[in-house]
Amino acid sequence: MEPLIRLNNVSFTGQNVRIIQKVNLDIDEGKTTALVGASGCGKSTLLKLCAGLLIPTSGEVYYRGKNISSMNRQQTMEFRRESAFVFQDSALWANQTLYQSLELPLKIHHPEFSGEQRKERIRQVMSEVGCRRDLHTRPSSLSMGEQKLIAFARAIMCGPALLFLDEWTESLDDNAAGRLVSLVKRRQVDNNTIVFVSHNPALVKSLAQIVIVVIGGYVYLKLTTDQIREDSDLAELVEKGNA
């Protein structure tokens, strides 16, 4: 079966530094894939390359067999509608209210929705993620954890079949993290494709079917979670990135 996403010999250079080096990688549809590795090894960069948010310096990224760099506007819009991204730093718009941030994806991808329908959908998603904040404030008045909740809510607003999550439970309390994990598990039941980055071995073990170990910008190993016997094995592999 054709992979949902294929990276073909992808390298990425930023400010003259090679961050990602000749990566060949397939992401399978309907599976959950975790990217793990030491701080600074290139996980966030690789995730953004998979999502088409960064363009490779060399090599190609394919989505359903189509090179992301040469998609036309309509194909790009379809890809964007099907996918969503939770950024490591949440990346909420500083000059917009939370409500505006949550409403924008609905305005773009569901222009047929009325203001009332958007309001109802936002209310529903906020209750799913368990956030009771006043949405007419700006992100700067939120804690990091609260920003993560809003970022996650924004990502699932249009029901994406493909979800990219970068350190998405970091800075959340156990209850809030647990709620987001169960929302992801529900998406797994629906056969969504999830690609996530995490430093938490227990989370990787409980959610991922495939684990990609990144070391120094290379894909060092691709394993199924069955091949990882203990949490300590994962930690050991990640530790190698520091060596």
Ligand X SMILES: Nc1ncnc2c1ncn2[C@@H]1O[C@H](COP(=O)(O)OP(=O)(O)OP(=O)(O)O)[C@@H](O)[C@H]1O
What residues make contact with ligand X under the rule CB under 6 A? 14-15, 17, 19, 37, 39-45, 88
Cβ 13 to ligand X shortest distance, Å = 8
- Residues 71-90 binding Mg ion (CB under 5 A) are 88
User: For Mg ion, which is the closer residue by CB, 63 or 168?
Assistant: 168
- Look up residue 125 and give its two tokens: 């998603």
Q: CB 46: neighbour CB atoms within 10 A? A: 26
Q: CB 127: neighbour CB atoms within 10 A? A: 11
- Residues 3-62 binding Mg ion (CB under 5 A) are 44
- Look up residue 173 and give its two tokens: 């309390």
Q: CB 227: neighbour CB atoms within 10 A? A: 11
End-to-end CA distance of the chain: 37
User: For Mg ion, which is the closer residue by CB, 8 or 88?
Assistant: 88
Strand 17-27 versus strand 5-14 pairing type = antiparallel
User: For ligand X, which is the closer residue by CB, 38 or 207?
Assistant: 38
Q: CB 226: neighbour CB atoms within 10 A? A: 7
Residue 31 C-alpha from the chain's centroid: 13
Could you tell which of ligand X, Mg ion, none binds residue 178, using a CB distance below 5 to 8 A set by kind? none
Cβ 44 to Mg ion shortest distance, Å = 3
Could you tell which of ligand X, Mg ion, none binds residue 19, using a CB distance below 5 to 8 A set by kind? ligand X
Cβ 80 to Mg ion shortest distance, Å = 22
Cβ 243 to ligand X shortest distance, Å = 16
- Count residues binding Mg ion (CB under 5 A): 2
C-alpha torsion 224→227→232→237, nearest 10? -70
Cβ 49 to Mg ion shortest distance, Å = 13
Q: Which amino acid is at 201?
A: P
User: For Mg ion, which is the closer residue by CB, 103 or 167?
Assistant: 167
Binding site for Mg ion (CB under 5 A): 44, 88
